[in-house]
C-alpha cells in the first residue's frame, strides 16, 4: 500500500495551525502591491517567489519571521485581507481540507490605521466565502505577540472575546519565543479562559520544554503550537499525553527554522509511537512552500507510516479542532467512513477497515 501525494490529496483533512500572513499566492502579493502603491524588494515574480519562501538562507525562527514583513506590507487594507483569506480558503479546499483554522494578529494590520473590526470582519468573511462552496468549515485564531507589550495582548484577547461565536475560535501567542516568556501575557489568557474561549500557544519551538510548561500551567493552553522540544521533559510529556493535549506539528517549518535538522530528526514519529495527540499542519503555505498533503507525505516517508497510521493522524486533527462537540462528532463519523472508502478504492486488495476501528 504505497501512499502518494495524489491519494493524500483525496483524503479529508484539517489544517489547524496556519498563519494568514504566511499563506499568500505570490502573484497576489505583486498585484496587491501594485494596487496599493507598496514598494516590494523586487517586482519580478520568480525572484519575489524565491524571497517569500524560506530556504537555505533561513537559519533561525528570527530569519523565518522576517519574511512576514513583505507579506504584511500588502495586508493593510480591508479588500486585501478579504482576498488573501478567500484565496487561502480556496487553496486549502483544493486539497480537501475540510476544517481550516487561520491565525493572525490584527495589531500587525494597522499600519494604515484600519479599524479593529474591519481587520477581523474582512478575514472572517473571506474565509467563509472561500470555504462555503467546498463544504469546509473555517475559523479565526487571534494571536498575541510575545515580543509586544502584554497590554497589547490583552487588547487582542478582548477582541477574541468580542468575536466569540462570531467567527473567532481561539486565542494564541506567537512570535519570538526566546527571551519573551508566555507568562508575561498571563492577563490576556486569564481573560480568554474566564470567557470560556479556546487557547493555544506557540511553545517548544525556539525554546525548551519549560516554555511548554508555562503555556499549559500559566496560560491554560488547550493545544500547543509545535511542541517540538517536549520530548526533553518526560514528565511533562506524560502530562500532555494523559490530558490528550494536541500538538500542532509543522514539519517543514521546523526544518526551515532549524528547530530540527531534518524531518527524520523530528520527534513526530516518537510522539506518535507514545500515543500523543499529534496533528500535521502547514504553518505557512507560501513561506514554508507546503500544503497539508505535502506535510502528510513527508511524515509518511520519514516515519514509514501505513495508511492506518495516516488515518489516525488525520482523525486526531479533527479531534483537536476548536469546534463544538456535536459538530465535531458528526464530522468525525463522516470523515472516518470517507477515508475508509478512499483507501478501499486505492488499495482494493489490502485495506481492511476493521483494523482502523477507533
Q: Which is nearer to Zn ion, 177 or 309 (CB)?
A: 177
Which parts of 259-288 interact with Zn ion (CB under 5 A)? 283
Interatomic CA distance for residues 311 and 313, integer angstroms: 5
Site string for Zn ion, 212-241 (x = CB under 5 A): ------------------------------
- How many residues line the site for Zn ion (CB under 5 A)? 1
Q: Which is nearer to Zn ion, 20 or 89 (CB)?
A: 20
Q: Which is nearer to Zn ion, 131 or 225 (CB)?
A: 225
Give 134: exposed, middle or buried? Use CB within 10 Å, 0-12, 13-18, 19+: middle
Site string for Zn ion, 140-179 (x = CB under 5 A): ----------------------------------------
Q: Which is nearer to Zn ion, 15 or 283 (CB)?
A: 283
Contact 355, 308 (CB under 8 A): yes
Contact 292, 92 (CB under 8 A): yes
Contact 203, 224 (CB under 8 A): yes
Least distance from C-beta 308 to Zn ion, angstroms? 28
Phi-psi group of 26: left, alpha or beta (phi > 0 → left; psi -120 to 50 → alpha; rest → beta): alpha
Least distance from C-beta 18 to Zn ion, angstroms? 8
Which parts of 278-337 interact with Zn ion (CB under 5 A)? 283
Reduce the DSSP state of residue 296 to 3 states and report it: helix
DSSP state letter for 246: P
- Does 205 qualify as catalytic in the annotation? yes
Q: Give the relative orientation of helices 26-36 and 45-52 as an angle to the nearest 10 degrees.
A: 110
Least distance from C-beta 301 to Zn ion, angstroms? 23
> Choosing from 77, 101, 177, 205, which is the catalytic residue?
205
Active site residues: 205
**Residues that bind Zn ion in the complex, under the rule CB under 5 A:** 283
Amino acid at each position: 500500500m504505497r501512499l502518494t501525494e495524489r491519494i493524500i490529496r483525496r483524503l479529508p483533512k484539517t489544517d489547524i495551525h496556519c498563519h494568514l500572513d504566511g499563506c499568500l499566492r505570490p502573484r497576489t502579493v505583486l498585484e496587491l502591491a501594485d494596487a496599493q502603491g507598496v514598494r516590494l524588494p523586487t517586482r519580478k515574480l520568480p525572484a519575489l517567489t524565491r524571497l517569500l519562501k524560506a530556504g537555505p538562507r533561513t537559519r533561525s525562527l528570527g530569519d523565518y519571521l522576517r519574511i512576514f514583513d513583505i507579506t504584511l506590507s500588502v495586508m493593510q487594507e480591508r479588500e486585501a485581507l478579504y482576498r488573501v483569506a478567500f484565496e487561502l480558503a480556496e487553496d486549502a479546499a483544493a486539497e480537501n481540507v475540510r476544517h481550516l483554522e487561520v491565525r493572525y494578529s490584527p495589531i500587525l494590520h494597522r499600519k494604515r490605521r484600519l479599524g479593529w473590526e474591519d481587520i477581523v470582519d474582512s478575514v472572517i468573511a473571506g474565509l467563509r466565502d472561500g470555504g462555503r462552496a467546498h463544504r469546509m468549515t473555517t475559523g479565526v485564531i487571534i494571536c498575541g505577540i510575545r515580543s509586544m507589550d502584554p497590554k497589547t495582548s490583552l487588547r487582542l484577547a478582548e477582541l477574541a472575546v468580542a468575536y466569540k461565536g462570531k467567527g473567532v475560535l481561539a486565542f494564541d501567542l506567537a512570535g519570538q519565543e526566546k527571551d519573551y516568556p508566555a507568562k508575561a501575557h498571563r492577563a490576556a489568557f486569564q481573560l480568554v479562559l474566564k470567557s470560556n474561549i479556546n487557547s493555544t500557544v506557540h511553545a517548544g519551538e525556539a525554546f525548551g520544554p519549560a516554555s511548554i510548561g508555562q503555556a499549559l500551567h500559566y496560560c491554560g493552553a488547550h493545544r500547543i503550537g509545535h511542541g517540538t522540544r517536549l520530548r526533553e521533559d518526560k514528565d511533562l510529556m506524560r502530562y500532555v499525553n494523559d490530558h490528550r493535549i494536541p500538538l500542532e506539528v509543522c514539519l517543514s517549518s521546523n526544518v526551515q527554522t532549524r528547530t530540527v535538522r531534518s524531518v527524520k530528526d523530528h520527534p513526530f514519529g516518537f510522539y506518535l509511537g507514545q500515543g500523543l495527540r499529534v496533528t500535521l499542519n502547514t504553518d505557512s503555505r507560501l513561506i514554508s512552500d507546503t500544503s497539508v498533503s505535502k506535510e502528510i507525505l513527508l511524515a509518511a516517508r520519514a516515519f514509514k507510516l501505513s495508511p492506518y497510521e495516516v488515518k489516525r493522524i488525520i482523525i486526531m486533527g479533527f479531534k483537536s479542532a476548536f469546534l463544538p462537540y456535536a459538530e465535531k462528532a458528526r464530522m468525525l463519523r463522516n470523515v472516518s467512513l470517507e477515508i475508509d472508502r478512499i483507501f478501499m478504492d486505492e488499495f482494493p486488495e489490502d485495506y481492511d477497515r476493521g483494523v482502523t476501528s477507533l
